[in-house]
Amino acid sequence: MLTPDIIKKKRDGQVLSPEEIKFLVSRYVKGEVPDYQMSAFLMAVYFREMSETELLNFTLAMRDSGEKIDLSGIRGVKVDKHSTGGVGDTTTLICAPLASACGVPVAKMTGRGLGHTGGTADKLESIPGFSVELSKEAFFFQVNKIGISIMAQSQELVPADKKLYALRDVTATIDSLPLIASSVMSKKLAAGADAIVLDVKFGDGAFMKGLDAAGKLAEIMVKIGNHAGKRTAAFLTSMEQPLGNYIGNVLEVIEAFKILKGEEKKGDLRKVSVQLASCMVLLGGEAASFGEAEKKVLGALDSGKGLDKMEELIKAQGGDPRVVEDTALLPTAALIQTVCSDASGYVQAISAEAVGRTSLLLGAGRTKKEDKIDLSVGIILKKRVGDQVEKGEPLVEIRGNDPLKLNFCQKKIKEAYRIGTEPPVLSPLIPRIIL
């Protein structure tokens, strides 16, 4: 088998065999296929795409390129949840304890933030003492004991994806649906869950800007999951504005606590989190219908069982559970600056990407994996799309530790808002669910 023949075959739109795909992926991971040949293959896929069978085989070959987690030692139906990334997207910190409180074992491996979207591992590490670096034995033991554990993703998981993603980044092949789908699903399949709930973002602050493209990606990933023997569902959720009102690691933890404590009864973040948790409960076999699952999740939220599960999680992983009731124990930024509206009217739009990038400039995120982040900084939205605002009324509160960054970000965050005289027409938050 020769690599140029495989590239030519895909270039000409032919279907690759499972053996050809496995050969290419395994040899690339070993360093026996050079970057220039794999770059040619990626570009061929970009233009010619892949059949369903090809894509499944490509995803499985990526999954099999490294360590695979066997969760059979954990009792029950394990359900994983994955978001394609957004701004103020704190759903894991809410839906995971809620699903666990409803009887679903949550054994979740999570990543760190890169760019303008945050990472769950970083958010949890803003809790004093909390560790996401667990051994597999400790991870399994904890899920069996309390029903939930969240740990940092193993570096040995899907090495093919790490190499391919870096190559896609410099070869203009990032926005290929087959390559995106195989990247996400190879990691989810390697993580060992029995079922997968996908939260596919679309809009200004998401990787996929359009609803149609996001829908196609969601359909592809659901098919891959189902064909691989994992019951898979996907939600299409809007990222036209930040999902939550708090953006930044410790601030997002605080907002999750507020929702779990019942202090926030409405809002987009709460709604999406409840829907995702309900789907986890349904796929986990703890409810016979989505309606029954949602009733159980709302019961866990209203009764405080979800909050209790969050406290258990924090304590089990070395954190101080007192932070749930006393957020003053969490890291706090030294400086606070309020940004006010220059006009009266209605908030017609908030650029989620601009808000995320402003948070990044404050120090809340990374542009490179080795960057050190400031867990205490971030942004609190005081007005959302559709809200009426008066001139001089606060739009945003910025929290930081560097006066120069704070002043620069004040201008940037104001540019993220668009104020007009007419109330906007609000788009659906969750326009589609694929079950």
Q: Reply yes or no on whether 116 is catalytic.
A: no
Return the CATH superfamily for domain 332-420: Pyrimidine nucleoside phosphorylase-like, C-terminal domain (3.90.1170.30)
Structure tokens at 392: 């001089």
Arithmetic mean of pLDDT over the chain = 94
Q: Domain 3-48 adopts which CATH fold?
A: 1.20.970
* Tens digits of residue pLDDT in 70-80: 999 999 999 99
Catalytic residue among 22, 63, 78, 82, which?
82
Q: Reply yes or no on whether 295 is catalytic.
A: no
d(CA 248, CA 362): 9
Pick the CATH number of 79-324 from 3.40.1030.10, 3.30.70.120, 2.60.40.1220, 3.10.450.50: 3.40.1030.10
* Tens digits of residue pLDDT in 321-369: 999 999 999 999 999 999 999 999 999 999 999 999 999 999 888 777 6
Q: Reply yes or no on whether 261 is catalytic.
A: no
Residue 326, SS3? coil
Catalytic residue among 89, 122, 161, 204, which?
161
Which DSSP string corresponds to 354-377?
HHHHHHIIIIIS-SSTT----TT-
Catalytic residue among 83, 100, 149, 183, which?
183
Catalytic residue among 22, 108, 187, 383, which?
187
Catalytic residue among 63, 163, 168, 258, which?
168
User: Same topology for domains 3-48 and 79-324, yes or no?
Assistant: no
Q: Reply yes or no on whether 82 is catalytic.
A: yes
pLDDT score at 113? 66
Residue 435, SS3? coil
**Nearest of 43, 31, 41 to residue 3 by alpha carbon:** 41
d(CA 347, CA 425): 11
Q: Reply yes or no on whether 26 is catalytic.
A: no
Residue 432, SS3? strand
* Tens digits of residue pLDDT in 273-293: 999 999 999 999 999 999 999
How far is residue 138 from each of residues 32, 143, 191, 193, 370, measured CA to CA in Å? 36, 9, 16, 17, 26
Q: Under 8 Å CB-to-CB from 388, ≥6 apart: which residues?
A: 345, 346, 423
pLDDT score at 175? 85
Strands ordered across the beta sheet of 394-400:
246-247, 378-381, 394-400, 335-340
**Whether pLDDT at 267 is above 80:** yes
**Nearest of 326, 369, 351 to residue 121 by alpha carbon:** 369
Per-domain residue ranges of the chain: 3-48, 79-324, 332-420
Query: Distance of alpha carbon 341 from its chain centroid, rounded?
Result: 31
